[in-house]
């Protein structure tokens, strides 16, 4: 009997990163390409589909996927947009389904936490940006096999409490909950492990051009964007979580 592929649905929550799809094939394409850097995701045993949940608001049908990955987004999970509420309702069903795994990155991390009942809020106008060192909890150390990891960041909102049944993976001075983990159920990361140095550079420029970063913050973010992240450790952990 031929075993069917593992079915992974990427829920695309932003189009501003790559408006015409010329850079990465859209944000969903960026996530898919990043995942496929790991050999476990590059073969025929994994089927990746991309769903535009922001503009088209399309979703995979129940029973047609084994896991979801929620991308980042400049939108806040607290914004009163129909697509955000629809995604939250969808994920409330997913996190209550023991057969389906969830991965969330930045906005995706916050959306999953909110679907689990945790509050999400903003620390004034400050942002956590560029390459940032994360002090790992015991759970994080088990996942990434290090005491600290460095990842790219771009966020203002934070998850404010750890949802019941999950564990915090680490903290920074700005953000005390840098990810969530529940074995066989969910793995979320506040950072953007999918951003390499070039992508981070583009994001910093866009944020500065739109007035989201002042000149001092922009210079600081550029100075720390040196391409020295531990994104591969996160990719390994996601592969083990989803496919191990």
Q: What is the pLDDT of residues 132-141, one digit of tens each?
A: 999 999 999 9
Is residue 1 assigned to a domain? no
**Residue 2 scores a pLDDT above 70:** no
In a domain, 12, yes or no: yes
Q: Is 192 designated active site?
A: yes
3-state secondary structure of 154: strand
Portion of the chain with pLDDT greater than 70, in percent: 99
Among residues 12, 128, 131, 194, the one annotated as catalytic is: 194
pLDDT tens sequence across 188-210 = 999 999 999 999 999 999 999 98
- In terms of phi and psi (left: phi > 0; alpha: psi -120 to 50; beta: otherwise), the region of 25 is left
Domain that holds residue 21: 6-243
Phi, psi (rounded to 5 degrees) for 98: -65, -15
The C-alpha atoms of residue 115 and residue 7 are separated, in whole angstroms, by 22
pTM: 0.96
Within a domain: 236: yes
Average pLDDT score, the chain: 96
Residue written as tokens 């001092």? 216
194 is catalytic: yes
What's 152's domain CATH number?
3.40.50.880
The reply to whether 86 falls in a domain is: yes
Q: How many domains does the chain have?
A: 1
Catalytic residue among 12, 48, 128, 192: 192
The single residue of 13, 48, 106, 175 carrying the catalytic annotation is 106
Q: Residue 38 catalytic? A: no
């Amino acid at each position: 009997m031929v075993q069917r592929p593992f079915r992974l649905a990427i829920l695309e929550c932003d189009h501003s990163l790559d408006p015409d799809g010329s850079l990465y094939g859209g944000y969903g394409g960026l996530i898919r390409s990043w995942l496929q850097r790991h050999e476990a995701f590059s073969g025929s045993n994994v089927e990746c589909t991309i769903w535009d949940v922001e503009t088209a608001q399309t979703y995979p049908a129940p029973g047609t996927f084994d896991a979801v990955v929620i991308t980042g987004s400049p939108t806040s999970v607290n914004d009163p947009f129909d697509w955000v509420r629809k995604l939250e309702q969808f994920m409330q069903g997913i996190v209550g389904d023991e057969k389906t795994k969830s991965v969330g990155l930045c906005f995706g991390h916050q959306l999953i936490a909110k679907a689990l009942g945790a509050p999400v809020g903003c620390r004034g106008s400050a942002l956590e940006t560029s390459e940032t060192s994360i002090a790992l909890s015991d759970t994080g150390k088990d996942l990434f096999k290090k005491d600290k990891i460095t990842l790219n960041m771009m966020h203002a909102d934070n998850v404010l409490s750890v949802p019941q049944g999950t564990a915090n993976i680490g903290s920074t001075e700005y953000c005390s909950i840098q990810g969530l983990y529940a074995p066989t159920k969910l793995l979320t990361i506040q950072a953007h492990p999918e951003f390499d140095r070039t992508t981070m550079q583009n994001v910093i420029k866009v944020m500065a051009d739109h007035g989201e970063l002042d000149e001092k913050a922009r210079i600081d973010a550029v100075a720390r964007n040196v391409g020295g992240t531990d994104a591969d450790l996160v990719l390994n952990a996601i592969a083990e979580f989803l496919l191990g």
